[in-house]
Homo-oligomer: A and B are copies of this chain.
Amino acid sequence: MVRVGIVGATGYAGAELVRILSGHPDVELTVLTSRQYAGERFDKVYPSMTGVVDLICEKLSIDSFCERTDVVFIALPHKVAMQLVPDFIKRDKKVIDLSADFRFKDVSLYESFYQEHTAADLLEKAVYGLCEIYFEKIKRATLIGNPGCYPTSVILPLVPLIKSNFLDVNSIIADSKSGVTGAGRSLSLATHFCEVNESFKAYKVAEHRHNPEMEEVLSIEAGRPVKITFVPHLVPMTRGMLTTIYANLVKDVSSEEIQNCLDSFYSERFFVRICRDGRMPDTLHVRGTNFCDIGFKLEERNNRIILISAIDNLVKGASGQAVQNMNIMLGLDETTGLKNIPFTI
């Protein structure tokens, strides 16, 4: 059994890691840390776990933590994460960091959207953990920058088409819609039930920090600069993310060609499901799962393609993908512990 610890286990992403790892057959969950709830049983913070998880939250002590773990998940805000990661790497732990701190190749890009990077020397070592794209690199990695939820939903549908040179990479627009868990468990008016319920709105219009993240990855894949207009919206629901992508086509291409391109690119990847027979992705169909559903529609009269992806922002958009990364790093089947049967409703 691989011994696993979670730093920041009581936020939504941390708690979702607890859920997934508790059911993982090859893993023993050994340490949960939480600043706010140190000393309290995890199942007191999340009573659904009563009788299922028996651990007590503790304050982080690096040495004690490392004695009891082989793999470390860090589910903390950016900036705090990069202060801790070097200590774990030094002690030869495999680290999967869910913050933005190790997602960028270009440190100046990171620094212009976040803050000064205090562990920039590790960026070269870090692998961007988008499992379906960087599988081979992840296998050999010791430090994963786990992708943002929006970038995951934007990059996965685009990569096959960009690599096939179907798209005008200057025309891409991504209109994303996220459930409220994306905003985390911290308190703010923006997550107050009565301010969200029966409300729909855009936020951080064309200025969300996931925008440079998706552009950097897509530019690398395209081999030239890709710029995306990106607008996120908040949906009055708990989990789920749907992204609608618009792009101009640079050549005549049929629906069959697109379908084939997507099908063959992802034919070996269990967690990407390309829709067929006119079905379109729906967040309800991926809720609680690590799937990314992708559908598309060619609009010939405007020479445009509309790509739609759906993920659960907490699973494929965060903790599920983090565990998938761990599986790959450990040489396990990437689906281990992630094949819980989806809900039909």
With both beta carbons as reference points, the residue of chain B lying nearest to A289 in the complex is identified as: B48
- Bound together, the chains give a CA A196 to CA B192 distance in angstroms of 9
**Does B283 contact A200, Cβ atoms closer than 8 Å?**
yes
Asked if A89 CB lies within 8 Å of chain B CBs, one says no
Inter-chain contacts of A189 with B (CB < 8 A): 185, 187
**Does B306 contact A48, Cβ atoms closer than 8 Å?**
no
Q: List the number of copies, as a whole number.
A: 4
**Does A185 contact B175, Cβ atoms closer than 8 Å?**
no
Q: A213 CB to closest chain B CB, in angstroms?
A: 16
Residues of A within 8 A of B (CB): 12, 15-16, 18-20, 22-23, 44, 46-52, 170, 173, 175, 177, 179-181, 185, 187-189, 191-203, 205-207, 227, 229, 231, 233, 235-240, 242, 244, 246, 270, 273, 275, 277, 279-289, 291, 293, 297, 299, 301-302, 304, 306, 308, 310, 314, 340-345
- 14 further A-B contacts with Cβ under 8 Å, apart from A180-B193, A201-B310, are A12-B194, A46-B345, A49-B341, A177-B177, A185-B189, A193-B196, A194-B238, A198-B287, A199-B282, A200-B242, A207-B297, A227-B301, A227-B302, A288-B343
Please give me the 6 A-B residue pairs with the lowest Cβ-Cβ distance, nearest first. Answer: A199-B284, A201-B282, A15-B344, A48-B342, A187-B187, A48-B285
